[in-house]
Amino acid sequence: MHEIAALMGGFATVLEPTNLLLMVIGIVLGVIIGVLPGLGGANGVAILIPLTFAMSPTSAIILLSCIYWGALFGGAITSILFNIPGEPWSVATTFDGYPMAQQGRAAQALTAAFTSSFVGALFAVILITFLAPFIARFALQFGPAEMFAVMFLAFCSFVGLGRGSPFKTITSMMLGFWLAAIGLDGMTGQLRLTFGSTELLRGIDFLVVVIGLFGIGEILITIEEGLAFKGNHAKIGLRVVLDTWRELSQHWALYLRSAVIGCWMGISPAGATPASFMSYGIAKRMAKDPKSFGKGRIEGVIAPETAAHAAGTAALLPMITLGIPGSPTAAVLLGGLLIWGLQPGPLMFVEQPDFVWGLIASMYLGNIVGLIIVLAAVPWFAAILRIPFSIIAPVILVLCAIGAYTVHNAPFDIWYVMIFGIIGYVFKKLDYPMAPMVLAIVLGDRAEASFRRSMLISQGDLSIFWSNTLVASITTVALLLLFWPAISLAWERIQPRLRYRTA
C-alpha cells in the first residue's frame, strides 16, 4: 500500500492554498475553453504554458491539468444546448444530448454529462493510482497493427447502426474519407488533393467540419422552423440535479462498460474521440431498443461522456510513464514537462515522486472541484435556452467563426465552416446521416496511417492482424461487430428451431 502513502503526500502538496486557488482558476478557464468550439484543451494549454514558466513544476501542472479537466467538462455544454460540439470528443454527446435539450430536458442532460465525466475520470484515476506500471507495459504492446485494429473496432462498433438507407450512410462515410485524405500524406510525404492551393495544404480539420455541419446547419434549420428554440421550457433548478442522479444510479453497468472502454482507448493511446464513438456505438447495440437512441436517451449521453473523460484522464498515463502523448493536450503538456526540466519516462515515478503524486492527487481533487463548479452552474447553462433566438443565434454564429479560426489560426477556415453549414442543412433536409461522415473524418487518416505502417512492417501481408493474441482478438471482435446485423438475423432464424428441438 505504498501507493496510498505516496498519494497522501500528493494531497498534502495539492491542498496548499496557492495550489487550490490555481486549481479553481484552471477549472473555470478550462470550462470556458471547452465551451468555445475550436479553442480546444490543446490550444488553451499551449497558450498558457509560457505563463507557468515562473511557477514550480507541480503548481504549473496543477493549473494546466485542471484546464484540461475543465475543457473535458465544458465540451458537453454547447453540444447539448446548441448541437455544437465544443470538443471533438463531445460529438457523440450531441446525438442524444441535443434531442434531450429540445424536449426541455437540458438540465437533465447536462447533469448526466457532467456526472458521467466525473465517474469516468475517477475510474481512470483509480486505475492510474494502483496499476500504473502494469498499464505502461500494456501500452507498449500497441504497435501499428494493434492500433489499426483498435481504429477498425471503433469503426465497426459504430457502422451498421444507422437507420435509413445504407446507400446514404455509405455516401456520407465516403465523403468523410475523401475530406480526411486532403493535405499531406504522412506516409509518403506527398501532397494529396490540394491542387496547388495554399489553403488546402493543412487539410480540412475535423473541428471545422463539425462546427459547420452541426452548429451552422442547426441554426439554418431553426431559422426555417420558426426562429425559436424548442427547449425553452426547460426545468431549471438544482433539484433537477438530485432527481437526475437518482436516475443515473440505475445505469451502473453502462458506466462500468463505458469507463473500461475509455481507459483502454486512453492508454493504448487512441484517445478520447474514438473512445466516445465506440462507447456510444456499443451502448446502442447492447440496448434493448436501439432505435430509440438518437431521440433523447440519457444513456446516449452517459456512454460517450464517461468514456471520453476516462480516456482523457488515462491518456496522461502514457505521457508520464512513456513520454508518448495519448491526446493532443497531453502532447502539449509533454512539451511543458521538458521546459520545466522534467524528464517524462519510466523513471518519473522514482525521480520525481512529488511531482507525479501531486499530479495524481490533483486529478482526484480537480475533478471533484470541477464537478461541483459545473453542477452548480447547470441552472445558468440551461437558462441560456430562454434567451430569444434572435439574440442568441448571432452570438452562436460569431462563436462558430471564432472557433473555426482558432483551430489553425487560419481565416479561410471560417469559409469552410459556412460551406459545411450549408452541407449540414442539405444533409438534414435529404435525410443523410452525418455521424458516418464525422467518424470517417476523425478516424480516417489515423486508421489509414496505422494500416499502411502495418503493411510496411509485414511487407504487405494481411496476416499481421492475426499475428498475436492481442491484435487477433481485437480484429475478430471488430469483424463480429461489423457483421452483427447478419449474425443476429441468422441467430433469430436458428433460435426458434433450437427451441423447437429442445422442447
Partner 1 sequence: MRPTWHCLAAATAAAIGFGTVSAFAQAWEPTRPVQFIVPAGTGGGADTMARAIQGIIAKNNLMKQSVQVVNKSGGAGAEGFLDVKTSPGDPHKIIITLSNLFTTPLGTGVPFNWKDLTPVAMLALDEFVLWVPSDAPFKTAGEYLAAVKTGGNNKFKMGGTGSKQEDQIITVAVEKAAGAKLTYVPFGGGGEVATQLVGKHIDSTVNNPIEAVAHWRSGALKPLCVFDGARLPVTEKMTATMSWNDIPTCKESGLDVQYLMLRGIFTTPGATAAQVAFYVELLRKVREAPEWQQLMKDGAFNPKFMTGADFTAWLTTEDARHRDLMREAGFLAN
* Binding region for partner 1 (CB under 8 A): 42-43, 46, 49-51, 53-54, 139-144, 183-191, 194, 198, 201-203, 318, 322-325, 328, 331-332, 334-336, 338-339, 341, 343-348, 408-409, 449, 453, 456-457, 459
Count other C-beta atoms under 10 Å from residue 491's C-beta: 11
Which residue's CB is nearer to partner 1, number 140 or number 489? Answer: 140
Cβ of residue 310: shortest distance to partner 1, in angstroms?
21
Nearer to partner 1, 54 or 253 (CB): 54
In this complex, which beta carbon is closest to partner 1, that of residue 153 or of residue 332? 332
What is the nearest approach in angstroms of partner 1 to the Cβ of residue 287?
Answer: 36
**Inter-axis angle of helices 299-314 and 91-102, nearest 10:** 150
**How many whole angstroms separate alpha carbon 382 and alpha carbon 202?**
37
Query: Minimum distance between the CB of residue 50 and partner 1, rounded to whole angstroms?
Result: 4
CB of 197 to partner 1, least distance (A): 10
Please state at what angle helix 353-376 crosses helix 57-82, rounded to 10 degrees. Answer: 30
Q: Which three cell numbers stand for residue 7?
A: 498519494
CB 365 within 8 A of CB 14: yes
Find the distance separating the first CA and the last CA of the chain, reported in whole Å: 55
Closest separation between CB of residue 40 and partner 1, Å? 10
Compare residues 213 and 410 and give the one whose CB is closer to partner 1.
410
Residue with cell 510513464: 321
CB of 296 to partner 1, least distance (A): 36
85 vs 318, which CB is nearer to partner 1? 318
Distance CA 82, CA 105 (A): 13
Minimum gap (Å) between residue 452 Cβ and partner 1? 9
- Kindly tell me which of 50 and 164 has the beta carbon lying closer to partner 1: 50
- Residue 193 CB, nearest distance to partner 1 (Å)? 12
Closer CB to partner 1, 191 or 287, in the complex: 191
Cell readout for 373 is: 463548479
Measured from the CB atom, the residue of 226 and 341 that comes closer to partner 1 is 341
Closest approach of partner 1 to the CB of residue 260, in Å: 22
What does the buried/exposed string (b/e) look like for 212-229 if buried means 16 or more CB atoms within 10 Å of the residue's CB? bbbbbbbbbebeeeeeeb
Buried b (16+ CB within 10 A) or exposed e, 7-26: beebeebbeeeebeebbbeb
Comparison of 45 and 156: residue with beta carbon closer to partner 1: 45
Task: Between 331 and 373, name the residue whose CB sits nearer to partner 1.
Answer: 331
Phi, psi of 297 (to 5 degrees): -90, 135
CA-angle at 421, arms to 385 and 29, nearest 5°: 50
What minimum distance in Å lies between the beta carbon of 268 and partner 1? Answer: 12
Q: Tell the smallest beta-carbon distance from residue 335 to partner 1 (Å).
A: 4
Give 120 or 274: the residue with its C-beta nearer to partner 1: 274
In angstroms, the CA 249 to CA 239 distance is 16
Residue 53 DSSP label: G
Cβ neighbours of 199 (radius 10 Å): 13
Query: At closest approach, how far in Å is the CB of 63 from partner 1?
Result: 14
Q: Cell numbers at residue 274, please?
A: 474514438
Q: What is the C-alpha R_g of the chain? A: 22
SS (H, E, C) 247-314: HHHHHHHHHHHHHHHHHHHHHCCCCHHHHHHHHHHHHHHHCCCHHHCCCCCCHHHHHHHHHHHHHHHH
Residue 223: all three cell numbers together? 431559422
173 secondary structure, DSSP code:
H
CB of 424 to partner 1, least distance (A): 24
Residue (40 or 86) nearer to partner 1, CB: 40
| Closer residue to partner 1 in complex, CB, 160/323 | 323
φ, ψ dihedrals at 190, nearest 5°: -100, 150
Instruction: Give the C-alpha separation, 454 to 231, whole Å.
Output: 48
Residue 495 has φ and ψ, to the nearest 5°, of -55, -50
Q: Let me know: does 297 contact 98? Beta carbons within 8 Å.
A: no
